[in-house]
Amino acid sequence: MKTEILALNIKEEKTVKTVFTTGLKNLPGVFGGLFDAADKVCVVTEPLAENKFSKNLKRLLGPTRKNFIYYSLTGRGGNKNIAELERLCLFLLKHSFSRQSLLLAAGGGSVTDLAGFAASIYMRGIKWISVPTTFLGQIDAGLGGKTAVNLGGIKNMLGSFYQPDLTVCDTAFLDSLPREELLSGAGELLKYAFIGGNSLRETVLSNLNAALKGDRSALFKCVKACAEFKMFIVSKDEKDENGERELLNFGHTAAHAFETLSKGKLPHGEAVAHGLFFALIVSKETGLLPETEFTKLTALIRGLGLKPLSAACGDFKRFLALVSKDKKARGNINRFVLIKAPGLMETAENIKPAILKIALEETLK
């Protein structure tokens, strides 16, 4: 078992630690300070955990796990909505959780988003630990302190920036992950290959195929490289204010619209892969991305062999309304992160509907 720790200052007063490991035992023993300072620990996880990753969670939490209080979310991956958030906060209240208590979220991005948001608002904020158990969670969703629930059918409309005190990316959790969830992670993985520098791109592209087959070493390399890159960006622009963090949104404006139009049936990572394709077409159509690069980059997305988007995603009127309501948009003007070349990004506003229509039609083919 190897364990590496990345410690980055996000704000002057706060260092956020990210642990990269495979098969770490007894986390409360290793990070005694954090657990010892807590009067109670709540482990928030999903109901199906018993069948999927409970063995790994028991191993990670070690013998002290028996003193913890467990909360099971409802639904697959947990429902990221206000009703679920209220239930969790009421549970904390009922069990007399205080400002000195600790919340540990173990699950995919849906679980860490919801539990992190609960931690940020319960008694105006309690400490929390993020334990992402999906590939997508370990390279993206479980890191960086963006927490949220959906509202009125729109993704992540209520949320906060609230850093976990510790994030544990333990790739042993990925052993039980079905292929479609690894594939979903590949959407975010390719995003890093497109926005990152040469070394990140090389790591991702040389390990992509093996990672999708569940190869532990390839998964570890991808997780570490992507998570380090994300945390580095977050340390420079925690609250998405100076444009640095906006890079991470590449492909996401269209992806969020696809998720809403498919009524939540499309996994996030798959939506991102289609959203990347959409953004590449817009980049080409606006004259930013040369045809040769476009062909190379779209081939990487096609290589994933994803299912086509459902017809519901082709409703251009609703799509246009959704991309203009995206959190990145200002007023009713749309705003997209576009690409000129790998690692060279540009934001653009008010893209003409005619271009967006072409891109949507091409993405749906």
Ligand X SMILES: NC(=O)c1ccc[n+]([C@@H]2O[C@H](COP(=O)([O-])OP(=O)(O)OC[C@H]3O[C@@H](n4cnc5c(N)ncnc54)[C@H](O)[C@@H]3O)[C@@H](O)[C@H]2O)c1
Residues that bind ligand X (CB under 6 A): 46, 48, 52-53, 76-77, 80, 107-111, 113, 133-134, 136-137, 140-141, 144, 146, 155-156, 173, 176-177, 181, 184, 267-269
Q: Are 359 and 285 in contact (CB under 8 A)?
A: yes
Smallest distance, ligand X to C-beta of residue 166, A = 16
By beta-carbon proximity to ligand X, the closer residue of 108 and 342 is: 108
Q: Are 136 and 269 in contact (CB under 8 A)?
A: yes
Two structure tokens written together for 135:
């590939």
By beta-carbon proximity to ligand X, the closer residue of 107 and 342 is: 107
How many other C-beta atoms are found inside a 10 Å radius of the C-beta of residue 364? 16
H helices present in the chain, as ranges? 27-30, 32-36, 49-52, 54-61, 82-94, 109-121, 135-136, 179-195, 198-212, 216-236, 252-261, 268-285, 291-302, 316-325, 353-364
By beta-carbon proximity to ligand X, the closer residue of 140 and 293 is: 140
Smallest distance, ligand X to C-beta of residue 163, A = 11
- The residues with which 20 forms a beta bridge, in sequence order, are 4, 169
**What percent helix, strand, coil does the chain show, rounded to 5?**
55, 20, 30
Smallest distance, ligand X to C-beta of residue 32, A = 26
Smallest distance, ligand X to C-beta of residue 365, A = 25
d(CA 297, CA 300): 5
Smallest distance, ligand X to C-beta of residue 184, A = 5
How many other C-beta atoms are found inside a 10 Å radius of the C-beta of residue 65? 18
By beta-carbon proximity to ligand X, the closer residue of 143 and 289 is: 143
Chain centroid to CA 169:
13
By beta-carbon proximity to ligand X, the closer residue of 238 and 293 is: 238
By beta-carbon proximity to ligand X, the closer residue of 48 and 320 is: 48
Smallest distance, ligand X to C-beta of residue 176, A = 4
